[in-house]
A and B are shown apart, each in its own frame.
Chain A
Amino acid sequence: MTNGRRATFWAWLWGLVGLLYFFVPLYGTLDFSLRAKRGEISLLAYQNVFGDPQFLASFAYSARMALLTILISILLVVPTAYWLHLKLPKLRPVVELITLLPFIIPVIVYVFGLIRTFSRPPFLLTQTEWTTDLLLASAYVVISLPYMYRAVDTGLNTLDVHTLTEAAQSLGASWPAIILRVIVPNLRVAILSGALLTFATVIGELILADFLVRPALGPYMVLMGQSRAYEPAALGLLSFALTWISMGLIQFFSRGGAALHPSGR
């Protein structure tokens, strides 16, 4: 066997092992989720999940929170990252480090900090539902910051931010016009990537919602896991499918962006 063929063989072998490692548990979960009826394959567990009004309510709640999180993230991250690129490039490594903090600080520590700070005066936010939702959405913004910031930062790196800004200024554009009409449209794919990653993060998040006692999908899934057998498997797969759909959409729109700018500029 020549060196090239041997390398190809090992590459395929390890690829196969990786795929099995990844897909065998998924297959196991899928198989289990289809055996809710004794002795036959059925979609009963899925029917139960979709038939449960609490599932739909918790999914709708999490989806609403995800959209709110995405909106706040975009409003916060896009102008900040743009300004850093344009005026304060030296601060970029510092901000990058700050955006990585959610990866370093455990969410459980973070949520205790939130509760301690915001459930006593002067920032009493956990007394009403809507202020708690606001607190939860803000916390989601923080934990999804690494994804949104990195996506937008990478998008800005592909643009000549300085010259585009100056070109727009010379044509008479104000700052809001530059951001809304020049920068944001050119960051469309990057913002969408960040938004979908944020969506996937928020939909599957457990600890923040659980400790702030909000009816999100994560706590619902845990609850189901404690009282049912097959439905949690179905929920697990659904949640996984949602993340994969998000990833697929990112890929799809990224390719669309590449087709729009064939030169890669």
Chain B
Amino acid sequence: MPFLEINSVNKVFQDITVVKNFNLHVEQGEFISFLGPSGCGKTTTLRIVAGFEQPSSGTVRLAGADITTQPPNRRNVGMVFQSYALFPNMTVADNVAFGLTLRKKPKDQIQRRVRELLELIHLPDRSQNYPAQLSGGQQQRVALARALAFEPQVLLLDEPLSALDAKIRDELRVEIRRIQQRVGITTIYVTHDQQEAMALSDRVVVMSQGLVEQVGTPFEVYNYPQTSFVAAFVGTLNTLSCAVVDAAQGTLACQGQVFETGAPIAHPAGHALALMLRPEELRYGPGGGQNRLAGEVLDVSFLGATVRVRLKLGGSTLTADLFNERMLVLPRIGETHTFSFPPHACWIMPQQPAN
């Protein structure tokens, strides 16, 4: 039996359905991310699990018990907020101890637990500081310790790194995963940052307009997107308008060039489709596979580990990511270069109507 079950949850605000038929089963100790753009319903779903919102229909079950109508303070669910939400009048130690004090735990047990958690978040010497005396990253660590202190059954994190600068965000991301694995707590993490979701999660739930688009491991979601939204939202994606040339052979024509997809296509010749290709699948030169394309270089961005090249292919623009190496001769703007990719690197989807 799954540890956390979200069954057929819908949430309607006035006339707008913000969560539509949300179903998810989470195993104990799993790290799940809700990923999607603003307004996709991810935070609302998290708040339903926390008990801050009541679903319009559907149920939430935790460890076999129906908690749908239980108030948030009876749920035994820890939460970390984007704005840290530390109590400004309390020291770090008092903040961390708050949940335990409410549960009337013995004083020595509380002190021991607070010490343990401050060690875990690497802030053992800050116990007597007030939140305003800490940096944003430190405050968020304390918020994490506070949410874990009373040993909740589930940990919920609502965009906890959004208010931090890039370097701290990267450090804390690693910390969150380390702490989650060490404690072994079932975790739901809400983010609009796909890298964060990928780096942290056992499974990612990609959402759009209140609907679950796909649930899968980061590898599955990135490499085998099930909808065009997932394909476009997760990672950078090249989309080329194509027409089927030979359905049995699995060949397509795009901007006057013919590509093999490596599998038969279930559409007749002439049918319009979209060919999807990740930038890192394109190789500089003809040696990357039997599909070749020649494009005019529009732009070259040196990013350190990679070099991003934008190419003009007929009326479309393609992005190719090249691995940096010291012997690499960078393509120049205006030059025409050949890039290649193997048939299995691309996939096809129905063509999206133009917006």
- A interface residues (Cβ-Cβ under 8 A, vs B): 159-160, 163-164, 166-174, 177, 181-182, 185-186, 188, 260-263, 265
Contact = CB atoms under 8 A, between A and B. Distances in A.
Contacts, number: 79
B85 A167 contact: yes
B132 A167 contact: no
A170 B83 contact: no
A166 B72 contact: yes
A265 B132 contact: yes
Given A167-B85, A170-B77, A185-B89, 14 more contacts: A167-B87, A168-B87, A169-B72, A171-B73, A171-B102, A171-B147, A172-B103, A177-B102, A182-B87, A185-B87, A186-B89, A260-B132, A261-B130, A265-B132
A8 B148 CA distance: 58
Max chain B C-beta neighbours (<10 A), residue from A171, A182, A188, A265: A171
B42 interface: no
Contacts of B78: 170-171
A171 B146 contact: yes
Interface residues of B, number: 33
A172 B102 contact: yes
B350 interface: no
B316 interface: no
Contact of B133 (A164, A186, A262): A262
B81 interface: yes
B98 interface: yes
A182 B101 CA distance: 13
B52 A163 contact: no
B295 interface: no
A169 B74 CA distance: 9
B234 interface: no
What is the predominant secondary structure among interface residues of chain A facing chain B? helix
A159 B89 CA distance: 11
B52 A188 contact: no
Interface of B: 50-52, 71-79, 81, 83, 85-90, 98-99, 102-103, 130-133, 143, 146-147, 150, 156
Contacts of A186: 87-89
Contacts of A182: 87, 89
A167 B150 contact: no
A15 to B, nearest CB: 35
A166 B52 contact: yes
Which 8 A-B pairs give the minimum distances between C-beta atoms? A167-B85, A171-B99, A170-B79, A185-B89, A169-B72, A163-B85, A263-B132, A261-B132
Contacts of A185: 87, 89-90
Contact of B85 (A166, A172, A174, A262): A166
A261 B52 contact: no
A261 B88 contact: yes
Nearest to A185: B89
Given A160-B83, A260-B130, A262-B133, A169 B73 contact: yes
